[in-house]
Structure 1
Amino acid sequence: MKTAFASIVLASLGLSALSATAAADPPDLKTLSIGAPAPDFDLPGVDGKNHALGEYSDAKVLVVYFTCNHCPTAQAYEERVAKLHDDYKSKGVAVVAISPNDPKAVRLDELGFTDLTDSFEDMKIRARDRKYPYPYLFDGDTQATAKAYGVLATPHVYVFDAERKLRYVGRFDDAEVKTPKSHDVLNAVDALLAGKDVPVATTRVFGCSTKWADKQADARKSLEKWNAEPVTLETIDLEGVAKIAKNETDKLTVVNLWATWCGPCVIELPELVTMNRMYRSRKFRLVTISLDDPSKKDDALKVLKEKHVAANNYVLSTSDRDAFADALDKQWPGPVPYNLIIAPGGEVVYRHVGEIDPLEVKRAIVAKLGRTY
């Protein structure tokens, strides 16, 4: 039985997270060894039921797949894991997905490839939207199961035989978005079903580091840092507005029209701030344009500071709304709040009059930016 080189390679937001993970993992964390029995679990699922290890006692092979909502690597494998379930269910193979992350330990800037957090409620949305055919369980409250299995990253796969002894641990395969050359999990499952030794029992994992609860402090500090960022407000004329509309940059641009006298406008600003913090490390920018009278510029700036809107903030220099609409978006009917998303080159890919549905806007953003590297 061959064992691949045992070093672990992790990635978070496209960067190697090996050193960061080594510092963040619990000091006694150890990945389950080949031959070890499957640790028991009893966890809530997105279907409203609790699921325990004993439920799968009839399965010839059990695949325990640690994953999460936010990680681009995990998202890249969603279809392949679903296909594994569909292709092997009739052969006696069971698949169980578990999210190991504490959602409060995930920084906003770690959510740049997703529209959802790692909360249990958001897991329900992801499972519903993607039609997960397998159980999706939440371990984020205690992370006891993740610790028992020694989960280093999402995704991290464990394959157990009929006696629930570990026969494979590591990655799903060797390619996130490209054609795999080494189908590691499939090879392990096929070998076990055939009564043979698994050809390669251990492989490197590659993905986003497990978000342990002790990282909550780091997440809180990041909010404090971002809340201290300077907030400015500049005056913009019609020429400047037209330039925004053309969007000759390489950045997806969210444009928010608002005013201090508009209650829904002010209410939705924190949601836009959250999105800006999520996506601004990618090719993304947030632009706000206040329709307050320029003489009220200080009032608008005060609101922006209170809401920590550290973005490209402008107040319109003209009161000619028709000329403004012609310069920005001729389809704007006039009310605020009004939000649109402009792709590089000037194509408007999203418009909305009235208070936004944050999830809807995030989905529109991620649809253009992409969910994987």
Structure 2
Amino acid sequence: MLCGTISFCADAQEIKVIRFAELEKLISESESKVTIVNFWATWCKPCLEEIPSFKTISKKYRLKDVNLLLVSLDFAKDVERVKAFATRKDISNHVVLLNEPDYNSWIDKIDPKWSGALPATVLLTQTGKEFYEKKFEGDELEKRVGTLLNN
């Protein structure tokens, strides 16, 4: 089951392949105090290493005003591999696979500072945006989200 907005109720077996316009819509529909959008891929070791941080945030802030969207940048033909990975790692967050092979057409729309390297994470609040082109270490992401929730 996929929910209408970015949320914690997506079933890992239902990973939708989307275009950038649909990703923009998903992001804009979020009315949460903090929306986390993480760009990752199954072939990206640092991405996979930070997945537990996102799972921790998902559990800790499940009932708070935080939404999490995990955006796979694997090839669309590899959607079954992404589904299998999400199932194996028990990822129940909203996961989509972005099918936009011309990265230059949309990366600057996420953030002009983004070189395209993975992992990359955007933290959106109702007053602004923070962009990180790096792997979050330890509880660094959790602390940042906690700070944003308390502002």
| Fold match (TM-score > 0.5) | yes
**For the residues of structure 2 that align with 1:330 and 1:246, how far apart are their CA atoms?**
18
In the alignment, structure 1 residue 324 sits paired with structure 2 residue 94:
no
Residue in 2 aligned with 1:276? Answer: 58
Amino acid at match of 1:365: V
Which residue is 1:266 aligned to? 48
Supply the distance in 2 between the matched residues of 1:261 and 1:248 (Cα, whole angstroms).
Answer: 28
Query: Match for 2:145 among 345, 365, 369?
Result: 365
Counterpart check, 1:339 vs 2:121: yes
Answer whether contact 1:257 1:288 (CA < 8 A) is retained. yes
CA distance in 2, matches of 1:341, 1:290: 17
What letter corresponds to residue 307 of structure 1 in structure 2? Answer: K
Give the equivalent residue in structure 1 for 2:6. none
How much has 1:273 moved relative to structure 2? 0.7
CA distance in 2: counterparts of 1:241 and 1:332, whole angstroms = 17
Match of 1:127 in 2: none
Q: Which has the higher contact order (CA 8 A, sep 6+)?
A: 2
Could you tell which deviates more after superposition, 316-325 or 352-361?
352-361
% identical aligned pairs: 23
Equivalence for 2:32 = 250
Structure whose CA Rg is larger: 1
Amino acid at match of 2:150: G
8 Å CA contact retained: 1:233, 1:313: yes
In structure 2, the residue matched to 1:293 is: 75
Deviation at 1:370, TM superposition (A): 2.1
- Letter of the 1:260 counterpart: T
Amino acid at match of 1:363: K
Which residue of the partner structure matches residue 4 of structure 2?
A: none
Q: Tell me which amino acid in the other structure corresponds to 1:360.
A: E
- Structure 2 CA distance for partners of 1:247 and 1:358, relative to 1, 3 Å: farther
Deviations 1:155-177 (A, max 9, x none): xxxxxxxxxxxxxxxxxxxxxxx
SS of residue paired to 2:106: helix
Aligned CA distance change for structure 1 residues 294 and 270 (closer, same or farther; 3 Å): same
For structure 2, which runs of at least 5 residues remain unmatched after alignment? 1-9
Identify the match of residue 135 of structure 2 among 350, 355, 367.
355
CA distance in 1, matches of 2:21, 2:38: 18
Query: In structure 2, what is the Cα distance between the partners aligned to 1:341 and 1:363?
Result: 12
Q: Contact 2:30/2:67 (CA < 8 Å) preserved in 1?
A: no
SS in 1 for 2:96: strand
Q: Indicate conservation of the 8 Å contact 1:241/1:327, yes or no.
A: no
Asked if the contact 2:53–2:142 (Cα under 8 Å) also holds between the matched residues in 1, the reply is no
Confirm whether residue 302 of structure 1 aligns to residue 96 of structure 2. Answer: no
Distance in 2 (alpha carbons) for counterparts of 1:301 and 1:278: 24
C-alpha displacement at 1:305, in angstroms?
1.3
* Number of residue equivalences: 141
- Paired residue type of 2:118: V
Q: Aligned partners of 1:357, 1:265: CA distance in 2, in Å? A: 11
CA distance in structure 2 between the aligned counterparts of 1:292 and 1:248, rounded to whole angstroms: 24
User: How many Å separate the matches in 2 of 1:254 and 1:296?
Assistant: 24
SS in 2 for 1:357: coil
Q: Summarize the Cα distance change of 1:242–1:326 in structure 2 as closer, same or farther, 3 Å threshold.
A: farther
CA shift, 1:340, in A, is 1.7
Which residue does 1:238 correspond to in 2? 20
Task: Please give the alpha-carbon distance, in whole angstroms, between the structure 1 residues aligned to 2:111 and 2:58.
Answer: 22
Calculate the TM-score normalised by the size of structure 2: 0.82
Secondary structure of 1:339's aligned partner: strand
Code of the aligned partner of 1:263: K
Q: CA RMSD in A?
A: 2.1
Within-5 A mapping of 1:179-258: 230-231=11-12, 232-246=14-28, 248-258=30-40
Give the secondary-structure state (helix, strand or coil) at the position aligned to 1:335: coil
